[in-house]
Amino acid sequence: MKIAVYPGSFDPVTNGHLDIIKRSSKLFDKIIVAVLHNPNKTPFFSVEERLELLRKVTEDIGNIEIDCFSGLLAEYVSKKNVNSIVKGLRAVSDFEYEFQMALMNRKLNPEVETIFMMTSSEYSYLSSSLVKEVFKFHGCIKGLVPDEVLEAMRKKIK
């Protein structure tokens, strides 16, 4: 069985993330969408809220598991007995950082391969940080995040 981990903060999950999840789910028997818990950051959504939102927006995809982790990704994939990592790339600027991370993950766990997927062109500018910034200043983020996420963001600030 071919299994891959798609890691990220998913704070919030965007339509760009969902695009990578859907497309990678066609390439692997199972995709573990793994939410990174980073205690050094102050997220918009808690890990539990992000897990719940990911479950909602991926419920129609049969081969998805939603999980969370903290610490090193190389250790997490080893613990899950997985040797493939899926990473989405929006632009050339993402590649340099992600390439460095892929090499470090392989150094820490020589069995790990990172598969880079180019984002669909309509999401090439999209990031969770940008979504949060636009939302914070009352800009329209409809179409950038799933409707369930937009509703959760609206509830969160009320």
Indicate which residues carry an active-site annotation. 17, 41, 90, 128
The answer to whether 97 is a known ligand-binding residue is no
Q: Is 127 annotated as a binding residue?
A: yes
Report whether 144 contacts 13 (CB < 8 A): no
Please tell me the distance from the alpha carbon of residue 12 to that of residue 49, in angstroms, as a whole number.
9
Q: How far apart are CA 36 and CA 33, in angstroms?
A: 10
Q: What are phi and psi of 127, to 5 degrees?
A: -145, 155
55 is in an annotated binding site: no
CB atoms within 10 A of CB 140: 9
126 labelled binding-site residue: yes
Q: Is there a binding annotation on residue 16? A: no
Residue 17 annotated as part of some ligand binding site: yes
Give the residue numbers of the binding site for ATP.
9-10, 17, 88-90, 98, 123-129
Give the residue numbers of the binding site for substrate.
9, 41, 73, 87
Give the residue numbers of the binding site.
9-10, 17, 41, 73, 87-90, 98, 123-129
